[in-house]
Amino acid sequence: MTTPIPQPPGVPLLGNIFDIDTNNTWWSLKTLAEKYGEIFQIKVLGHRIVFVAGAALAEELCDEKRFRKYVGGPIVEIRYAVHDSLFTAFHDEASWGIAHRIIAPQLTPAAVASHFDDLIRCTDELLTKWRGLDPETRFRPLDDLNRLNVEAITLTLFGKHLNSLNGPEHPIIRAMEDATSEAMKRPNRPKLLNWLVHGSKFKKATKALRDFAAELVKDRKENPSDRQDLLWTLMNATDPETGTALTDSQVIDEIVTMPIGSSTAPCAIAASILLLLQNPDALVKARDEIDAVVGDGPFTQEHVAQLHYVAGLVRETLRLSCAAPGFNIEPIPKPGDESPVLLAGGKYQVPHNQTMIIVLAGVNRDPAVFEEPLAFRPERMMGDSFERLPAGVKKWFGNGKRECIGKHWAWEFLVVVTAKLIREVDFEAVDPDYKLKQDGWFNVRPIDFQARAKPRSR
């Protein structure tokens, strides 16, 4: 006999509509996960969604023989901006495989390492800005880290230096925010309201994103380069299996997808600054390692793999910050078979076509896996301790076939930027009693976390 899946008590007709804050969906789901545990469900206007917040169940749902990525809701909405890109393609669209085979060689660890100098250049520009601030100046680290992300993506992958770390914020940052927030909210609104009231915002944001990508293509055509980076690949390479090249529109799609997909990285680093301020012993250990490995010389690509404690620190930040907050899963259809899907060895059952969302804020804090799950302990994310952890709590880049294609770029960015800021800058929280609260759309980030910065005192 199966166990009923827990559900908050709703209201007549509307169901659980008041249990989810549509302006902060992921925080609502984190709160529900803390209350209901490894699995729960909500019903809104008769529509049911199941959420998984336990490590063992998450690992079960990542079995690609039984389940696959669900492309629906907000992911379908963002297709307005990026069409059938890597992130948004349906399972039966050949475009996913074509794009993946074209792009993947440019995002291997070796390919990412070849752009190390460009990443250092961008990071040094940000650190110069922070070291030059008046010690009493208040700022939101996330704002500048968002700028750094766009600058680094554009330089390393597309060969264009935007010079956007100072002065007005680059328009693409606002366009990403508006497009992703609209994509999250549109499924919960009447279609007429989306069209009449909110349609212009979505269109304006999409135009800004695609104009940005088109300008990069135009600039490369007008200024040919022997730099065979991702932009060159998108514009010139063909699929090794089919011989198919990307259309002009598909090139734009994939360019736009990259900064949206990488926007979780600055969210994680902003959280890392906060966690290090709250855990000064971890900061001391990280600095000791960096000083021992790098010394007084330049930080090089070879140093990245030697920073074991920093790597653990980054993983522990990804665990607690859940910058990429979750992903959607559905059972793989079995033609003619509509029998319920059993979970946890038959403990739970869901309909054959049930959408399920893995909530990493629950999975990554599962007390069945982590002792003191809310504590910041980089050591548990190092060496054998990390290797022994179940696969279900290591899904910060997604899962399987549809795992983030840019995970190696993201890892390099996270380790390099984190190590550089630890090595070179002293931070102070404006509010020493600040407690982490997050919001976000396709990413989650600290709300109103402010800091002061000065050159590191050695």
Nearest to 311 by CA among 419, 403, 150, 442: 419
Nearest to 69 by CA among 325, 329, 401, 357: 329
**Dihedral sign, CA of 170, 173, 178, 180?**
positive
Contacts of 89 (CB under 8 A, 6+ apart): 71, 95, 96, 99
**Dihedral sign, CA of 8, 448, 416, 161?**
positive
The whole-angstrom separation of Cα 78 and Cα 202 is 9
Token pair 């859940």: residue: 322
**Residue 302 CB coordination number (10 Å):** 11
Q: Encode 378-393: b = buried (16+ Cβ within 10 Å), e = exposed.
A: bebbbeeebeebeebb
Exposure of 63 in the CB half-sphere (CA atoms within 13 A): 10
Contacts of 346 (CB under 8 A, 6+ apart): 2
The whole-angstrom separation of Cα 189 and Cα 170 is 30
Structural contact between residues 40 and 10, judged by C-beta atoms closer than 8 angstroms:
no
Nearest to 266 by CA among 324, 206, 180: 324
267 known ligand binder: no
Rg (CA), the chain: 22
Structural contact between residues 268 and 317, judged by C-beta atoms closer than 8 angstroms:
yes
Nearest to 39 by CA among 26, 57, 60, 62: 57
Q: At 68, which helix (H) or strand (E)?
A: strand 67-69
The whole-angstrom separation of Cα 231 and Cα 237 is 10
Side chain identity at residue 347, one-letter code? K
Annotated binding site: 404
Task: List, as residue ranges, the binding site for heme.
Answer: 404
